[in-house]
Amino acid sequence: MASNPAFDEGLAAPRHVAIIMDGNGRWAKKRRLPRAMGHKRGVEATRQIVRAAGDLGLEAMSLYAFSSENWKRPEDEVSDLMGLLRGYIRSDLDEFVEKGVKLKILGNYKAFAPDIVDLLEDALEKTAGGNGPTLAVALNYGAQAELAQAAAAAAAKGPVTQEAIEAELYSAGLPPLDLIIRTSGEHRLSNFMLWQAAYAELWFTDTLWPDFTPEEFTAALEEFAGRERRFGGR
């Protein structure tokens, strides 16, 4: 763990942080730029935060990159997002391997174009042996569909218990979710990691995602470290 005042005082650091990366379109609109420019700047913000998470010693970070509802967006915007996804994998994969980042996909990524599926599966294979943090990226993801799928898979194997459902979730194997961050001033989970969020702390900021910095990310972790978590107890 890199030096961090709150953590140095012996307060609890999060193991697993999830981020709803919101506000790319509004960032572009405020500057009278195409939405594609907002998404492009959002990718750079993602890159900086992923690096910061590694420096801060997180075990896992989950990013809401593309929901199952995002297919409803205009075709040209979806195409831009797919192009950015391709570019991000190609440009950052070597860095992931070098730093021991283990990639995990949350969602039905096989619904994407075949070349994207190939890129993702190549990245999964090349990072599988990583001994550093896990980067879980939600792609074509919806929490309600995840829960329905997990419950059905659990029922096919035996009694439907909490443990059986958790074993079938896309997030199986990740540490319990400690903190969810959402940017852009919205105060909702938007069908993201609903099961996993049961006792997660929530942290909201008005900052639009392209403007979200490692410093603000660190501030969120510091605030988390000062919270008292009772998990339903007194």
For residue 213, being part of any structural domain is answered with: yes
Active-site position among 70, 108, 191, 211: 70
CATH at residue 27: 3.40.1180.10
What's the confidence (pLDDT) of residue 70?
97
Asked about 70 being catalytic, the answer comes back as yes
pLDDT single digits (tens) 162-174: 999 999 999 999 9
Q: Is the pTM of this model over 0.85?
A: yes
Average pLDDT over residues 133-148: 98
| The two structure tokens encoding residue 78 | 């979806």
Residue numbers of the domain that contains 174: 16-225
What the block records as the tokens of 29 is 């609109």
Residue 6 lies in a domain: no
Within-domain flag for 85: yes
Q: What is the pLDDT of residues 154-204, one digit of tens each?
A: 999 999 999 999 999 999 999 999 999 999 999 999 999 999 999 999 999
Contact yes or no for 65/85 (Cβ under 8 A): yes
Helix%, strand%, coil% for the chain, nearest 5: 50, 15, 35
Residue 50 in any domain: the answer is yes
Sign of CA dihedral 148, 70, 213, 44: positive
Please check whether residue 125 is in contact with residue 102, taking contact to mean a CB–CB distance below 8 angstroms.
no
Q: Which residues contact 163 (CB under 8 A, 6 or more apart)?
A: none
Residue 1 covered by a domain: no
Total structural domains in the chain? Answer: 1
Is the pLDDT at 1 greater than 80, yes or no? no
Percent of the chain with pLDDT over 70: 94
Q: Is there a domain that residue 2 lies in?
A: no
Look at residue 9 and tell me if it is in a domain.
no
The answer to whether 24 is a known catalytic residue is: no
Query: For 232, phi and psi rounded to 5 degrees?
Result: 90, -10
Of the candidates 22, 37, 54, the residue with the CA atom closest to the CA atom of residue 188: 22
Q: Which one is catalytic: 22, 80, 92, 178?
A: 22
Q: Which residues of 67-103 are buried (b: 16+ CB within 10 A; e: fewer)?
A: bbebeebeeeeeebbeebbbebbeebbeebbebebbb
Domain-located, residue 109: yes
